[in-house]
Structure 1
Amino acid sequence: MQWTGLNELREKFLSFFESKGCLRLPSFSLVPKDDNSLLLINSGMAPMKKYFTGEITPPRKRVTTCQKCIRTPDIERVGITARHGTFFEMLGNFSFGDYFKREATAWAWEFFTEVLEMPVDKLYVSIYQDDDEAYKIWTEEVGVDPSHMVRLGKEDNFWEHGSGPCGPCSEIYFDRGEDKGCGSPDCGVGCECDRFVEVWNLVFTQFENDGNGNYTPLDHPNIDTGMGLERLACVMQGVDNLFLVDTIQNIMKHISQITGVEYGKDEKSDISLRVITDHIRSTTFMIGDGVMPSNEGKGYVLRRLLRRAARHGRLLGYKEPFLYKVCDTVIKENLTAYPELKEKEEFITKVIKVEEESFAKTIDQGLRMLNAIMDNNAVKTLSGEDAFKLNDTYGFPIDLTREILSEKGIKVDVDRFQELLKEQKKRSRDARKNAGADAWISEATDLTDVAKTDFVGYSELSCDSTVLAIVRDGERVDSVNEGESAVIVLDKTPFYAESGGQVGDTGVLESGNFTADVDDTTKDPSGNIYFHACTVTCGSVSVGSKVSSTVDSERRADITRNHTAAHLLQAALRDVLGNHVQQAGQLVTDSYFRFDFTHFEAMTAKELIEVENLVNKKIFEAIEVKTQEMPIEEAKNLGAMALFGEKYGDVVRVVSADDFSIEFCGGTHAKNTSNLGLFKIRQEGSVAAGVRRIEALTGNGVLNYINNTNAAIMGVCSALKISNPKAVVEGAQKAEILIKGQQKEISELNSKLAVAQLSELFAGTEVENGVRIVTSQVDNANADVLRTMCERAKDSAPKVVIVLAAVNDGKVTFAAACGKEALALGANAGKIVKAVAQAAGGNGGGKPDMAMAGAKEPEKVEFALSTVKDTVYSMLK
């Protein structure tokens, strides 16, 4: 058996099964397609479930893959043991009603013994205890020594998940030697020790389970095999765990180089190195497949992994962001199998760096809070409120909080945390909820008998329709009358339903004396049934009625202009900022559009002008905007931009403006870029870490913007008494100079006033206990006057402790200061002003030599000032 690198093993496996007539498919995305049962792909067969069920015809009946997978149930164990990891690759060969047990077993044995040259005496095979057919094939046809065969029960060697296809399985084990065993005389396959490693699982899907324990043979049995690439590499490289495999070890070495911590020297640091190594592999691949950090779903898994890795970097004594630097090694080690990672390297690196920097801003505060809790021996359980604060304020995922506290034996009130989280989400949902058509459809509303809506709105803005259903207040009704609001479902509609960020159409439905305003259009989750939110303005309409459906053409034209402009904007952003720019969301309305995109710093004024000019250039070039439906592979060959991480069918709709902008899109668009008229960026800003937002206008929106801007300029001219708008800047500058001069004059007068008043305040005071205490309420003074008086007092009188108060509009302002000699004796202005303010229902503080405070009870000012002397004397040395 020869040492073999991980990348070479992958290629040997795939090539071998190609030689057996299997179609090599690339790894599917980690993001499941049309499968809500999984958050992330966690096995080799998961992306191919519909091939096995027959819902989708496979590209060939024999397939082989190396599938990237993420599993997180044991995330707390990752690093603590050398066995657990969240990212792995699963080698597999599959038969969809083609070859079966004989071929699967023979090829597995051939691959192990002939291709990889594994010693036969080190290989063992387990079968389901009742699968005599498999036993006979393994021993009589494949040639496995019966002494190396083991029968195991249903729990170990029968694959099933409730009702559906199921069947027995055979597992191939590798004997690592007696020195790896437990020493027990009955140690063998199935023992929990490290001697016998299960490497390959061959599932023979040959039965249908009705859910009641009744098994019916399938007409066309299937083969589903799975073998962990990293585990196979451990065997072939003679190492004890996946972190010592060549490609993974190279990633760890890079981490050691950055942090200055060597693997194998200390168990605690080894745990951290393993955590970081595993998590940077997972996160690099997840971002490469379009997952972005967030607080829900896949994004939460990503954020949790990144923050867990960042925390372990700090445990190694490295506080600077560094995970992003390791990305290039992860990509380089996986380049042969996943070249697409290289194309996205800049983007992946930036996402990780931004997330690290974001976490770094709050992690120290959060850790201080956690450390204080852990240092308090009386605390046995962290409250749900504190856990929520750590999550909401400091960005600590609840799982990270639990993990850190568990190291000290402290529990977390997770139930209360979840309650608070639900309350927050409900507030967010309530804030977002609008009066759209879907708000009038109850989850209990049964529309299963309603036919799919025929959408004709790409080419027509009006058509004749039949009313299929009416829903009022969540209930289906037969008719709706004047003055009532309802959702109307039509068999055929020109109204575009809200989708892809584009708002739904509005317009009218008419028939005889019946008229209804269509206020919005949405559709059901399947996208098959269109909901027209209507207000009946005249007459009534019933199910089965014929109506004329007409879209508001002017509004639709404004929407299409903005949607086409969003496409041109994305192309321009990529041209000016770089190819890392990806759409992260959009909203297209008739009045404006907003476009969210991945970028990691504010755009400069120069960049904004460049982007704006480039879009307008394409508008002036009057480019024809083409819309075509084509096979997805053809669209990709054209270079069409897809929404990052989005799923598409075999046939896609592509919208293009020459080769400047080519995108997958189901929205409505202008016929020519010249229809947009003009393009104007209204504003640019941040919406999340690594995500920027541009709001922009076209056509009538630009005209309105120009008119409103012009009106504002004329208003400024009027206020400045300027007749020529061109002179508005000069007029504003003159006004600024005048205001600054007046402010300077006011400041000088305040200083003079302060000096004049100080001599009066000092009169009648004496130095006692080494300090001169001066207190007073100053009439007609603001905070600036009080501050100036205190500054002058402490600078001119080293022994002074002065506290002044002023009341304006029912609010109290206190100012306090201490001279140098008073400070030396222990006086502290910050503490003094805080005590005084608290006596008048307020609070505040500041530096020992100068401090300010506020209070809400002006009637207590005299009493508050009377407490100054006792407060000061209590401080003196």
Structure 2
Amino acid sequence: MLTANEIRSRFLRYFEERNHTLVASSPLIPHNDPTLLFINAGMNQFKDVFLGRERRDYVRASSAQKCVRAGGKHNDLENVGRTARHHTFFEMLGNFSFGDYFKEDAIRYAWEFLTVEMKLPVDKLWITVFQDDDEAFAIWRDQIGLPEERVIRMDEKDNFWSMGDTGPCGPCSEIHIDQGESMSCGPDCGIGSCDCDRYLELWNLVFMQFDRSADGVLTPLPKPSIDTGMGLERIAAVVQGVQSNYDCDLLRGIIAYIEELAGKEYGADEEQDVSMRVIADHSRATAFLIADGVLPSNEGRGYVLRRIMRRAARHAKMLGFEEPVLFRSTVFVLESMAEAYPEMVQRTDYVAKVVKNEEERFIQTLGNGLRILTDEVARLQQQKQTDLPGEIAFRLYDTFGFPLDLTADIVAAEGFTIDEAGFNSAMEEQRRMAREHWKGSGEEAVAGIYRQLVEDGLRSEFTGYDSLIGSSEIVAILKDGQPVTRADLGSEVEIVTVATPFYGESGGQTGDGGELTTATGTMAISDTKKPLPELTVHVGKIVAGSV
């Protein structure tokens, strides 16, 4: 039986032997793409190549890309651990052609890899194509040799891909595997008729052949391209003959480690199984996000990470853990993934320190918050109510650090929903009171932009007691008192990060100076200030590249 590591290696080797350049996974933080919270597909790092904005010295590429889908439209955390396929972190295997080969080779490569390299049964594989894509239909029927009834035409919703409302787009073809009657959802089970796992999508082949204009007109691209994606966890589960991604070796090893730490047996109790799966998945997302530079915070990417970590902490408590444990499982993840991502192992100690610190802070309030929530649910049940008031959810958020979706996850088990409008109202009222406090305390002189940043949830954590260097996420860049998305060479700017080892003075003295370096540029820091207690601002000039 092939391991996931062997499948990943075989995939990359297969395409390398067919003149594809192997490209390393990009970090999970998107470079120069404000439309993305996290890298969520293999093609993200090639986006500018597809758009014609960037040229590279190769026209064929292949990669195993680490991805995170959490937050935004992918915010379905409550399903992670409860289904066979939902994950926050996963790996995407992909092959890409930038104006080189097109449909015929893309289909042939995918078919050969699955049936020859992975030895999947030909009679179990089904294909979908876009309803108007006669070319792809003919290739599957005439060149691959599939009977017409196993090549299903689907509409635009299912089998047409677009990068956005305008720009590159095209039909796609998906390869599915029939996992058998035991996975069927009923008599109407079938591709396009249901979302069950009997006919499991394995690989999506996107044929990027049109440019869509603002008025919806599709113009053929001069150099059509290929973008494909196949989830490693999914193909590993199929090759290894298991029905859940959590039973493939990538995740089962982490679950076994959690079993050992908890002294509990996976498979003995369904709710405990859910908690182990949640911790296994969230440990992977936590480990890789922090290793790539994201830190838990109340803003943007950092807040998504914090929500993931706190959901894991709550499930750890449900398993009986009273002390931090997520930091142990994240270390296990990085060490077990060292073959594929050796550079991550160098950051193990750093990741463990960040995770343990966050766990310790949350554990202090988790128990108290759970008691309040349990009492409130019991009271509402006596009154035959099933809607948790927004002000209670806000109190848990504001006082005990419960993200709204964590509270929703907890009360859903009791059949409750949350009054989100009431929660948002309570949040806005707190902001209004904070503004009044600033006005009444003689702090009108504080620049409005700093107040706005704090109102929006930005905070800076001082780490200088532990180290004089550090790694963190930039959450705001200010130029002439206004937010900007980048700062170019020579610009005098102020930069706010989630955490900083720089001490900021607030009494007129000069704060710390030094250097801030990113993958694209360097800032010489001449001063560090604290315009508000929660905020540390680095002042300086871009001396190399751009930030």
If the length of structure 2 is used for normalisation, what is the TM-score? 0.81
Residues 454-473 of structure 1: pairs in structure 2 closer than 5 A: none
Q: SS state of the match for residue 667, structure 1?
A: strand
CA deviations 1:406-437 (Å, max 9, x no partner) are: 22233322223223334545777896986779
Match for 2:406 among 378, 396, 400?
A: 400
Deviation at 1:111, TM superposition (A): 1.2
- Aligned residue in 1 for 2:461: none
1:96 Cα deviation from its structure 2 partner: 1.6
Residues in 1 aligned to 2:108 and 2:4: alpha-carbon distance in whole angstroms: 23
Residue of 402, 410, 413 corresponding to 2:416: 410
Tell me the distance in 2 between the aligned counterparts of 1:338 and 1:203: 27
> Which residue is 2:312 aligned to?
309
Q: Which string of whole-angstrom CA distances, capped at 9 and with x for unpartnered residues, describes residues 611-652 of structure 1?
A: xxxxxxxxxxxxxxxxxxxxxxxxxxxxxx974xx4x33xx4
User: What is the CA distance between 1:48 and its match in structure 2?
Assistant: 2.3
- CA distance in structure 1 between the aligned counterparts of 2:368 and 2:32, rounded to whole angstroms: 41
Deviation at 1:42, TM superposition (A): 1.5
| Contact kept in structure 2, 1:269 and 1:316, CA below 8 Å | yes
* Residue pair 2:516, 2:524 contacting (<8 A) in 1 also: no
Correspondence for 1:421 among 419, 427, 448: 427
Which residue, out of 7, 13, 25, partners 1:9?
A: 7
2:487 is the counterpart of 1:527: yes
Change (3 A) 1:199 1:532: closer
Q: Is the 8 A contact 1:523 1:530 kept in 2?
A: no
Deviation, 1:130, is: 1.3
Query: How much does 1:367 deviate?
Result: 0.8
Change (3 A) 1:593 1:532: closer
1:119-130 residue pairs with structure 2 within 5 A? 119-130=121-132
Once the two structures are superposed, the pairs formed by residues 470-549 of structure 1 within 5 Å of their partners are: 525-527=485-487
Q: What is the rounded CA distance, in whole Å, between the counterparts of 1:125 and 1:532 in structure 2?
A: 56
Does 2:526 match 1:592? Answer: no
| Offset of residue 333 of structure 1 | 2.0
- Which residue is 1:30 aligned to? 28
Structure 1 pair 132/434, CA: closer, same or farther in 2 (3 Å)? farther
Aligned to 1:227: 230
Query: Where do residues 49-198 of structure 1 align in structure 2 (5 Å cutoff)?
Result: 49-72=47-70, 73-160=75-162, 161-182=164-185, 184=187, 187=190, 191-198=194-201
Is this contact kept in 1: 2:477–2:487, CA < 8 A?
no
TM-superposed deviation, 1:667: 1.8
Provide closer, same or farther for how the CA distance between residues 55 and 405 of structure 1 changes in structure 2, counting only shifts above 3 A.
same
Alpha-carbon displacement from aligned partner over 1:457-501 (angstroms, at most 9, x marks no partner): xxxxxxxxxxxxxxxxxxxxxxxxxxxxxxxxxxxxxxxxxx999
RMSD: 3.6
Other structure's SS at 1:45 match: helix
1:419/1:189 CA distance change after superposition, 3 Å: closer
Tell me the distance in 1 between the aligned counterparts of 2:504 and 2:138.
Answer: 64
Kindly tell me: are residues 588 and 14 of structure 1, through their superposed partners in 2, closer, same or farther at Cα, counting changes over 3 Å?
A: farther
Match of 2:269 among 266, 281, 285: 266
Shift of 1:29: 1.1
Which letter maps to 1:123?
L
Q: Is the 8 A contact 1:71 1:86 kept in 2?
A: yes
Query: In structure 2, how many angstroms separate the alpha carbons of the residues matched to 1:405 and 1:521?
Result: 43
* Matches of 2:127 and 2:360, distance apart in 1: 50
Q: Partners of 1:359 and 1:321 in 2: how far apart?
A: 10
Aligned residues: 494
**Higher RCO, 1 or 2 (CA under 8 Å, sep at least 6)?**
2
The correspondence of residues 292-691 of structure 1 with structure 2, limited to 5 A, is 292-376=295-379, 377=381, 378=383, 379-424=385-430, 525-527=485-487, 583=500, 591-594=509-512, 643=517, 646=518, 648-649=519-520, 652=521, 665-667=522-524
Residue of structure 1 in register with 2:205 after alignment = 202
Q: In the alignment, residue 58 of structure 1 is paired with which amino acid?
A: R
Return the alpha-carbon distance in structure 2 between the equivalents of residues 213 and 381 of structure 1.
44
Listed one character per residue, the Cα deviations across residues 202-224 of structure 1 (whole Å, up to 9, x for unaligned) are 00011122243321111111111
The one-letter code matched in structure 1 to 2:66 is K
Aligned to 1:40: 38
Q: Is the 8 A contact 1:501 1:587 kept in 2?
A: no
Q: 1:48 to 1:426 in 2, by over 3 A?
A: farther
Q: Deviations over 1:208-247 (max 9, x none)?
A: 2224332111111111101001000011000011110112
CA spacing shift, 1:40–1:586, aligned 2, 3 Å: farther
The 8 Å contact of residues 272 and 313 in structure 1, kept in 2 or not, is answered as: yes
Which deviations, in whole Å up to 9, do the C-alpha atoms of 1:731-758 show, x marking residues without a partner? xxxxxxxxxxxxxxxxxxxxxxxxxxxx
Q: Deviations over 1:265-302 (max 9, x none)?
A: 11111111111111111111111111111112111111
Counterpart residue type for residue 666 of structure 1: M
Q: 1:140 Cα shift?
A: 2.2
Instruction: Report if the CA contact (8 A) 1:171-1:202 is conserved.
Output: yes
Structure 1 residue 172 displacement after superposition: 0.9
CA distance in 2: counterparts of 1:403 and 1:397, whole angstroms: 10
Give the 3 Å change call, closer, same or farther, for CA 429–204 of structure 1 in structure 2.
Answer: farther
3-state SS of 2:323 partner: coil
> Which string of whole-angstrom CA distances, capped at 9 and with x for unpartnered residues, describes residues 702-742 of structure 1?
xxxxxxxxxxxxxxxxxxxxxxxxxxxxxxxxxxxxxxxxx
CA distance in 2, matches of 1:584, 1:171: 49
Q: Which has the larger radius of gyration?
A: 1
Q: TM-score when scaled to structure 1?
A: 0.52
Residue by residue, what CA displacement relative to the aligned partner does 1:760-810 show, whole Å, maximum 9, x if unpaired? Answer: xxxxxxxxxxxxxxxxxxxxxxxxxxxxxxxxxxxxxxxxxxxxxxxxxxx
Q: Deviation digits for residues 281-325 of structure 1, max 9, x if unmatched?
A: 111111111111111211111111111111111112222211111
Question: Which residue, out of 229, 245, 252, partners 2:248?
Answer: 245
- Alpha-carbon distance change, 395 to 174 in structure 1, aligned in 2, over 3 angstroms: same
Partner of 1:593: helix, strand, or coil? Answer: coil
Aligned counterpart in structure 1 of residue 278 of structure 2, from 239, 260, 275: 275
